[in-house]
């Protein structure tokens, strides 16, 4: 069964849709295959799987980790959610730009966002479950967050009054992050794209 890259927003993000086999008994799909990920230029060395459940209106993010660097492959096996990634890499031509993708159990979309991106989501259905495959193991001493509504980024969230954790309400701005020494952990040598404030909703 094939895994298709539907789009590549900000060049380094990938929206992936697995092929589905379905009949009157139900369905089957392969959500990850190392051989096909390698062919598509995507990572294959995932070391941790996470699974969360949230109710409608919950917004989690924007989270990231710099040591070890953590990329995430995110999918929504139950419900629907708006998944967002923001480029934090200081030398990237897409620094501060964001991509947002509605993912659901029905559309089967998965979003790969490499290390150097902050990630978050808000729940659109009554409840939603999010699964992540991570390229780094969690380290609470080297993780942080960017404020969900930082005007310097300008994410067009489909919710105006989200349910937030106390930690997320106190997250730093993009400017604060870029002024910190830890921001030097994230670099990119991509030559594609330019500008700020970009959003992709698909």
Beta bridge partners of residue 83, listed in sequence order: 101, 121
- Gap between the Cα atoms of 141 and 131, Å rounded: 23
Does residue 63 have an active-site annotation? Answer: yes
| 132 belongs to the catalytic site | yes
CA distance linking residue 88 with residue 115, whole number of Å: 9
Beta strands in 10-142 (DSSP E): 14-18, 20-23, 26-29, 48-55, 59-65, 72-78, 80-87, 98-104, 110-113, 117-123, 127-134
Question: Which position among 21, 32, 51, 63 bears the catalytic label?
Answer: 63
- Pairing type for strands 72-78 and 127-134 reads antiparallel
Q: Give 45-59 as a DSSP string.
A: ---EEEEEEEETTBE
Contact 101, 202 (CB under 8 A): yes
Options 21, 32, 51, 132, the catalytic residue: 132
Contacts of 129 (CB under 8 A, 6+ apart): 51, 52, 53, 76, 77, 78, 79
- Which of 101, 112, 121, 119 shows the shortest CA–CA distance to 62? 119
Catalytically annotated residues: 63, 132
């Amino acid at each position: 069964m094939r895994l298709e890259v539907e789009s590549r927003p900000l060049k380094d993000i990938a929206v992936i849709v697995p092929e589905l086999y379905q009949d009157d008994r139900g369905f089957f799909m392969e959500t990850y295959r190392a051989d096909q990920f390698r062919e598509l230029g995507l990572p294959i060395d995932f070391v941790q799987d996470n699974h969360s459940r949230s109710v409608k209106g919950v917004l989690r993010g924007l989270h990231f980790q710099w040591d070890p660097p953590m990329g995430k492959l995110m999918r929504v096996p139950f419900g629907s959610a708006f998944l967002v990634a923001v480029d934090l890499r200081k030398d990237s031509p897409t620094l501060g730009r964001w991509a947002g993708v509605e993912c659901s159990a029905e559309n089967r979309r998965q979003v790969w966002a490499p290390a150097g991106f902050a990630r978050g989501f808000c729940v659109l259905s009554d409840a939603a479950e999010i699964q992540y495959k991570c390229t780094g193991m969690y380290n609470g001493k080297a993780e942080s967050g960017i404020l969900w509504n930082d005007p310097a980024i300008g994410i067009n969230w489909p919710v105006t009054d989200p349910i937030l954790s106390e930690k997320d309400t106190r997250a730093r701005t993009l400017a604060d992050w870029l002024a910190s020494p830890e921001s030097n952990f994230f670099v990119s040598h991509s030559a594609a794209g330019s500008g700020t404030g970009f959003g992709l909703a698909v």
